[in-house]
Copies of this chain bind each other. A is one copy, B any other.
Amino acid sequence: MSLDDRKLEVLRAIVEDYVATQEPVGSKALVERHQLGVSPATVRNDMAVLEEEGYIRQPHTSAGRVPTDAGYRLFVDRLSRVKPLSPAERRAIERFLVGAVDLDDVVHRTVRLLAQLTRQVAVVQYPSLARSSVRHLELVPVSTTRIMLVMIADTGRVEQRLVELPAPVAPDDVMEMRSKVNEKLCNQKLADTPPLVQALVDDSPPDRRTTMACLASVLLETLVERSEERLALAGTANLTRGGMLDFQGSLRPVLEALEEEVILLKLIGEVEPSTTRVRIGDENEIDNLRSASVVSTGYGPGVTIVGGLGVLGPTRMDYPGTIATVRAVARYVGDLLAQN
C-alpha cells in the first residue's frame, strides 16, 4: 500500500514538530500547529497507517508519536525541502574562514565553525594523502645513522618520520639521495608511488642499496599506509544538549566511538563525489552509534575530493538545516583550498 500525499504531509509535520520540541506529538497538537485541513480523527487514522508501515511509533501506549529511523529516512529522502542558509550563516562562514594561515589552521577553523553552526559534533578529515601528490621531499640528517624524512603534499599537508639507518651515512650522500628521491617522486600522485619507490631501490648502486631500502620502507609507510590518519574533532559538548534525552540516556558509547579515529574515518571518509551522505541511527554499522545520525560529504578544490567532513548528532536532528550547512561549509573549504 502506498502512502498518499496527506499521510506524507502528516509524517513531515510529525518529524518537524518532534525535532523542534523533543516531545512526542499527538494528533490534536498537529492539526493546531500545521494547516492541514482535516480533523484530528483523520490524522489519527493516517498515523495508525504510518505506524503500521514502521515510520513512526509510540514510546508508550497513548502518548504521541515519534518518528522511527525509517521515518527520518523517508523524510530526508522525499519530504525535506532544501533550507537555504541564512545570510547570517553565510557571513559567519566567511568571517570564520578568512585569515586561515596554513592547513592546520584551516582544518581547525572549519571544524569549530561546523560545530558552532550545526550545534552538533563536527569532524573534518585532513586532505587525504592518497588523493594528493608529492610536492617536495626533504631529508634532514639528524645524526650519522638517523635522518628525518619530511614530505610536503600539494594540499599543504606535511608528514614527517624518523628513519633509522643500518649504517652511518655521509651528509653528501644524504643530499644525493634527497635529489634522487625528489626527482622520481615529485608531482606524483601518492597512490602511484609504490612502484616508483621500488624502482628507486633497484636503481641505486649496490653500496647504497641497503640504506635506500631502509629509507624506502619508511617512505612507503608514510606515503601509503599511514596516509588517512589525521582528522579534527570539535563540539563534543553539544552532545549534552537535550539533557541526556537523546542517545538513550548515556553518551558513553558515543564518546567512545568518537575517540576511535578509525571509526570516524569510516564515517566521514567514504564519500562519493558531490553527494551528501546521511546515515540515520541503525544505518550506522557501528553499534555505539545506533542512536546517532551522521551527515557527511566530501570537499576539495573544484570537483575532485580530497577529504571528508561532517557532523554527528542525535537521530532527532534538523536534517534539512544540517545538510545545508555541511554542504555550504564543504564548498567554502574547497574554494579556500583551490586558491592555494
Query: Which A residues contact B (CB, under 8 angstroms)?
Result: 101-102, 135-136, 138, 140, 142, 148, 150, 152, 156, 158, 160-162, 234-237, 239-240, 244, 250-252, 255-256, 258-259, 340
In addition to A138-B138, A148-B158, A244-B244, 11 A-B residue pairs with Cβ atoms within 8 Å of each other are: A101-B161, A101-B162, A102-B160, A135-B142, A135-B148, A138-B140, A150-B152, A162-B340, A236-B255, A236-B259, A240-B255
Give 5 closest A-B pairs by Cβ, nearest first. Answer: A237-B255, A240-B252, A237-B256, A158-B160, A136-B140
Q: A102–B161 contact, CB under 8 A?
A: yes
Quick one: copies of this chain in the complex? 2
User: A148 to B138, alpha carbons, bound, how many Å?
Assistant: 12
Q: A138-B138, A138-B150 are in contact. Are A258 and B240 (CB under 8 A)?
A: no
CB nearest to A236 among chain B residues: B255
Q: A136–B148 contact, CB under 8 A?
A: yes
What's the nearest-Cβ distance from chain B to residue A186, in Å? Answer: 11
CB nearest to A164 among chain B residues: B101
CB nearest to A254 among chain B residues: B237
CB nearest to A218 among chain B residues: B101
For this complex, 8 residue pairs linking A to B, each with C-beta atoms less than 8 Å apart, are: A135-B140, A135-B142, A135-B148, A140-B152, A150-B158, A236-B236, A236-B255, A240-B252
User: A237 to B239, alpha carbons, bound, how many Å?
Assistant: 12
User: A255 to B162, alpha carbons, bound, how many Å?
Assistant: 35
User: A156 to B140, alpha carbons, bound, how many Å?
Assistant: 12
What's the nearest-Cβ distance from chain B to residue A81, in Å? Answer: 32
Q: B158–A158 contact, CB under 8 A?
A: yes
What's the nearest-Cβ distance from chain B to residue A234, in Å? Answer: 6
